[in-house]
Structures are given as structure tokens and as C-alpha cells.
């Protein structure tokens, strides 16, 4: 006698209306899943004739859309990815806060990747792109060909503070005109020998600030430096060059690529007995909170709005409400404080 338990009868797969998916509708209508999704949302991007085919397929298949089914069919994760070169410092924190605030209201979570100049950065970014609905990339974190590959895969990409790449949205702040405004203001103090602290090779933003700086000096007939003083973006980088500046002979003013550099430089100069602005003027860029307490003349850029705008651009692409890339440029503002020299009370902010 066989003591083995009898096998349970195999369940038969049902094929009723409940099994109809958005993919079935797309196949029946001869369109993509994304097109069906747009038609269901009433997007203006769907041609009326195409909408009629989708509606006919829905009726023929008796399809009832569900948000969960739609997300699964479109392989959506309800998550966005953001790629930064680093997360230290107030600038990146503000950008992340702006992005997350908007993403949260849209029901999306955010996965953050900080590459820290790792050799495997390209592979890390490509792996993340496969786990999210869209990818925001800050600065020159990865090479253009990596971004292009993500775009080619059909993953929406938004670039922040980076030169435009075909197929990707972008949001950045204005740099050239603002840098010219900084120089024009410094010229009113009588300064003529100016140095620029930062590395244009590593940053689109810094490259544009350097160009605006040089252009304004040339326009005024002032001495134009042939090269920058190379530096990263952190306070330590600013502090590191202080001794070199003193040894080589101080210029009239040092225009720094960001506030952290300017603050680090100012503290290190003070330790060597050099007064700002008495012996040398210093300016920054960003207008982080510490800059306000330190009396640093700087350029205010909307850091949190950059992140928020990127999140909105991303949502429009993921939702299918817009198919063509958009490139937004946010305005910046010169903020005059005491680090560049004495002013009337009305000039300070």
C-alpha cells in the first residue's frame, strides 16, 4: 500500500476579465504601455485617434485599471535616484532637501548615491538606474557616455548643475552674469589684482564662473589671470592655499568658487595675521548660512529650489506629461557684505 499523500490537483489558470492587464490593452490597441497610461490619465500628449484606439481596446477587453497594476506593468518603482559626488557640506544638503520635499508630496521615495570619486562610479550609477523610475545626476559625477546610456535605456534623467546632454532634462543656476557682477562690484572698490580660487575642470558651474570673471576683467581693461588657483570645494581646500597666497604676495581680492572655500581661506589667513578685508578681500558663492554670520560677500543661488525644480521635471517625464527635454536656468543674486571692504549701510544684506 502506498503511504504517500495524494498530490493536490493542479490549479487551472483563470482567464477572466480580472486577468486583463495594461499590457494586454497596449497589445490590442497596437501602442506602448506608456501610451495607454497617458491615455488613462488624460494626457494631452496622446493623439485623439490613438486615444480612440485605446478606449476601444479597454472596452473590448473590459479592462479596469488599477494604480498598482499600472505601476507594475510600467515597471515603476515609485522611487527616484539622485547621484552626487559627495554629500558633505551645506550645499548638497539643501539640494537634497529641496528634492525630497517635492518627491514626498508626489508619493515618491528617493535613493541617494554618493560616488566619492570611486573608480566603480559608472557601474554604481548604471546599477542604480535599473532600480528607479528616474535618475537625477549632479555635476560631473559620471561621464557623459554613462548618462547617455541611462537615457538610451528609457530612464528619465534630470541633470543638475551640468551641461546639457541630449535626451535629458536639466536645471542649473546662472553663473556668467553673476560672476561679472561680482567683478564689477569689486572694481568699484578700486581692486585691480584679482585671483580666482577653484577648479573649472571639475565643475560646469566653476567653469562658467571663471569665464564670467575673466570676461568682466577684460571688459574693464584690468589684469586678467592666466589660470585659477586650483582647489576642491571644501573648507580644508581653502585653508590649504592660504600660506601659498601669502608667500607669493597677496592679490587685492580672492574670488572663491564657493562659500566653503572662502570661509576656510579666511580662517587660515587670520591665523597667519592676514586680515579680511583689511589686507585682502574675499568673496564666495552659494550664500550658505555660515556665510551670513561671517559677513561674506557672495552670490546667492537657490540651492533648495534647484532640487525642487529637478524633482518636478522628473515627475513630468515619469508621468508622461511631457516628452521633450526641458532646460531651466535659475537666477542668482549678488549679496554684498563686509568681506570685500567697507560699504554704506544700504549696501549690506
From first to last of its 349 residues, the chain has per-residue pLDDT tens of 444 443 433 333 333 444 677 778 889 999 887 787 777 766 677 888 998 898 898 888 887 765 444 454 444 567 899 999 888 888 999 999 999 999 988 888 999 999 987 888 999 999 999 999 999 999 989 999 999 999 999 999 999 999 999 999 999 999 999 999 999 999 999 999 999 999 999 899 999 999 999 999 999 999 999 999 999 999 999 999 999 999 999 999 999 999 999 999 999 999 999 999 999 999 999 999 999 999 999 999 999 999 999 999 999 988 887 888 999 999 999 999 999 999 765 444 5
- Angstrom CA distances, 162 to 170, 175, 306, stand at 7, 12, 12
User: Phi and psi dihedrals of 338, rounded to 5?
Assistant: -80, -15
Domains and CATH numbers, the chain: 22-65 (1.10.260.40), 79-172+303-330 (3.40.50.2300), 175-301 (3.40.50.2300)
- Distance of alpha carbon 14 from alpha carbon 284, whole angstroms: 67
- Angstrom CA distances, 129 to 82, 132, 135, 192, 320, stand at 10, 6, 6, 48, 18
What is the pLDDT at residue 67?
A: 45
Using a cut of 0.85, tell me whether the model's pTM lies above it.
no
What is the pLDDT at residue 47?
A: 87
CB neighbour list of residue 77: distance below 8 Å, 6 or more residues apart: 131, 132, 133
Cell 539643501 appears where?
94
What is the pLDDT at residue 86?
A: 85
What is the pLDDT at residue 38?
A: 74
User: 247-280 burial, b if ≥16 CB within 10 A, otherwise e?
Assistant: eeebbbbbbbbbbbbbbbbbebbeeeebebbeeb
- Distance of alpha carbon 183 from alpha carbon 202, whole angstroms: 22
CA-based Rg of the chain, rounded to a whole angstrom? 27
Amino acid at each position: 500500500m502506498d503511504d504517500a499523500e495524494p498530490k493536490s490537483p493542479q490549479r487551472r489558470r483563470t482567464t477572466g476579465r480580472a486577468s486583463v492587464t495594461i499590457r494586454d490593452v497596449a497589445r490590442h490597441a497596437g501602442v506602448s504601455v506608456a501610451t495607454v497610461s497617458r491615455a488613462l490619465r488624460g494626457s494631452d500628449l496622446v493623439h485623439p485617434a490613438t486615444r480612440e484606439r485605446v478606449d476601444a481596446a479597454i472596452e473590448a477587453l473590459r479592462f479596469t485599471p488599477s494604480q498598482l497594476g499600472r505601476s507594475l506593468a510600467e515597471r515603476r518603482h515609485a522611487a527616484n535616484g539622485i547621484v552626487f559626488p559627495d554629500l558633505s557640506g551645506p550645499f548638497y544638503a539643501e539640494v537634497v532637501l529641496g528634492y525630497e520635499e517635492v518627491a514626498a508630496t508626489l508619493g515618491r521615495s528617493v535613493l541617494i548615491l554618493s560616488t566619492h570619486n570611486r573608480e566603480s562610479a559608472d557601474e554604481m550609477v548604471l546599477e542604480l538606474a535599473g532600480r528607479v523610475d528616474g535618475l537625477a545626476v549632479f555635476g560631473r559625477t559620471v561621464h557623459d557616455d554613462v548618462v547617455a546610456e541611462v537615457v538610451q535605456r528609457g530612464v528619465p534623467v534630470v541633470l543638475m548643475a551640468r551641461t546639457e546632454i541630449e535626451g535629458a532634462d536639466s536645471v542649473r543656476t546662472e553663473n556668467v552674469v553673476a560672476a561679472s557682477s561680482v567683478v564689477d562690484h569689486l572694481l568699484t572698490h578700486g581692486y585691480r589684482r584679482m585671483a580666482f580660487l577653484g577648479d573649472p575642470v571639475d565643475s560646469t558651474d566653476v567653469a562658467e564662473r571663471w569665464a564670467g570673471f575673466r570676461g568682466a576683467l577684460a571688459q574693464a581693461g584690468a589684469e586678467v589671470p592666466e589660470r585659477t588657483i586650483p582647489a576642491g570645494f571644501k573648507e580644508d581646500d581653502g585653508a590649504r592655499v592660504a600660506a601659498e597666497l601669502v608667500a607669493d604676495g597677496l592679490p587685492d581680492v580672492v574670488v572663491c568658487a564657493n562659500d566653503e572655500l572662502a570661509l576656510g581661506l579666511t580662517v587660515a589667513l587670520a591665523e597667519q595675521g592676514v586680515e579680511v578685508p583689511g589686507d585682502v578681500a574675499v568673496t564666495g558663492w552659494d550664500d550658505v548660512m555660515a556665510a551670513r554670520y561671517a559677513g561674506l560677500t557672495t552670490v546667492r543661488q537657490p540651492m533648495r529650489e534647484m532640487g525642487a525644480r529637478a524633482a518636478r521635471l522628473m515627475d513630468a517625464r515619469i508621468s508622461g506629461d511631457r516628452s521633450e527635454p526641458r532646460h531651466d536656468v535659475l537666477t542668482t543674486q549678488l549679496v554684498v557684505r563686509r568681506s570685500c571692504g567697507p560699504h554704506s549701510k544700504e549696501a549690506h544684506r
